[in-house]
Amino acid sequence: MSARHILVIGTGSAGKRHGSNLASLGCEISYMDPRQDRLDEVSDASYVKGTYTSLDTAFDKINNLDGVVVASPPVFHVDQAIKALDEGLPVLLEKPVSPNEKSARRLQAAVASSNTPLLLGYTWRWWQPLGQVKELLDQNEIGNLRSVQFVMSAHLADWHPWESYREFFMASKELGGGALLDESHWIDLMLWLLGTPKSVYASIDKISDLDIDTDDNVDLVIHYEDGLVVTMHLDLYGRPHQKYIRFIGEDGTIFWTADPNRVMVSHDMEGNWKETSYDCERNDMFLAAAKEFVSILEGEPEKTCHIGDGLKVLAFIEAARESNNNKSVFAIN
């Protein structure tokens, strides 16, 4: 079998990572980006077959494409993914699906009508420690859950130290940046691990000195039908960086942290913890997503994250926005 040929749309950090990972799995890569300077940065890689500044040109000139990765700013996701689906090409789509639920539903309809698979890149679903957490919760390890806290705090200027954060799409509301949308990883994890809640109360603000025009602070209070209360804090100004989830149940606590990379479980008041440490690296979850995408190109269905999951995230985001705008609790249907 000849090497799979993948077109990667976008040559920012995500696009470069996806291209490199897919190349390590034996794929040939072409890139599309409207910025020639960014294409110049990737053109010398041995696995790069071509570079293009227009998506239409790429589709016209490449006659042996097998799949497309969409790793552009979120505002472009839907239109670019639909063009790929119209060509009958499976898509690996970076999260979020879109800046809003309405446009994401257009993509959902295109996936259904084209009968072409789309894998969604909420990559923390492929993170081994969080897989262990899901197993523990499914096994009722700490009894009925009563409280869960999600925290993601990381200064935007530290994300891409090789460029000004002001040039990063995360700084732009128009391009689909901001804490609520880009850090919707944590909303996806909540829905994946806990299911759909009944209501949300949201505060979504720009409060820091960052030179951006989008939100950099999100605080959510979320209620479930069974009495579970979830709090979620997302910010783009915190130092040191923190990523953790604490699950408190009737029979104990599960505590996951990204740094140090571990899962801890305790069942007693003294705080005797059973700790599992991991040596997996950040790229491992992206590589696992790439492996699943290659399996899709070989005829397997998407398993880990699909367009319906992305719609659930955006429906929750819309509810949070309504809550913030009206300063009230918003019921989720």
* Model confidence pLDDT, tens digit, residues 41-68: 999 999 999 999 999 999 999 989 999 9
Give, to the nearest 10 degrees, the angle between helix 185-194 and helix 128-138.
Answer: 30
pLDDT bracket for residue 76 (50, 70, 90): very high
Q: Could you tell me how far CA 265 lies from the centroid of its own chain?
A: 26
pLDDT in tens, 268-319: 999 899 999 999 999 999 999 999 999 999 999 999 999 999 999 999 999 9
Residue 333 has pLDDT above 80, yes or no: no
Q: What angle do CA 290, 294, 297 make, to 5 degrees?
A: 140
d(C-alpha 119, C-alpha 159), whole Å: 25
Please give the structure tokens belonging to residue 166: 């002001």
Q: Please answer whether residues 106 and 78 qualify as being in contact, where contact means their C-beta atoms are separated by less than 8 angstroms.
A: yes
- The pair of structure tokens assigned to 261 is 């990379």
Q: Which amino acid is at 256?
A: W
Mean pLDDT of the chain: 96
Q: What global pTM score does this model have?
A: 0.96
User: What number is the average pLDDT over the span 222-234?
Assistant: 97
Q: Which are the contacts of 81, defined by CB distance < 8 A and separation ≥ 6? A: 68, 70, 91, 93, 107, 110, 118
Q: Is the pLDDT of residue 1 over 60?
A: no
Are the C-beta atoms of 129 and 263 separated by less than 8 Å? yes
Tokens of 229: 């209360």
> Above pLDDT 70, what percent of the chain?
100
- Predicted local confidence at residue 167, as pLDDT: 85
Tens of pLDDT along 18-37? 999 999 999 999 999 999 99
CA distance 21 to 19: 6
Distance separating the N- and C-terminal Cα atoms of the chain:
47
253's tokens: 């606590």
H-run or E-run covering 86: helix 77-86
Specify the pLDDT at position 275.
97
What are the two backbone dihedrals, phi and then psi, of residue 63, each rounded to the nearest 5 degrees? -105, 10
What is the band of 215 on the pLDDT scale with cuts at 50, 70, 90? very high
For residue 211, what pLDDT band results from cuts at 50, 70 and 90?
very high
Distance of alpha carbon 115 from alpha carbon 94, whole angstroms: 20
- Measuring CA to CA, which residue among 266, 141, 247, 108 is closest to residue 189? 247
Question: Is 210's pLDDT higher than 60?
Answer: yes
pLDDT at 169: 85
Give residue-wise pLDDT tens across range 139-160. 999 999 999 999 999 999 999 8
CA 136 → CA 75, 247, 251, 274, 298, distances in Å?
A: 37, 11, 12, 13, 32
220 CB-contact burial (10 Å; exposed 0-12 / middle 13-18 / buried 19+): buried
Strands 252-257, 262-266: pairing is antiparallel
- What pLDDT score was predicted for residue 171? 87
Contacts for 309 with CB less than 8 Å, ≥ 6 apart? 120, 122, 188, 191, 192
For residues 76-101, average pLDDT: 97
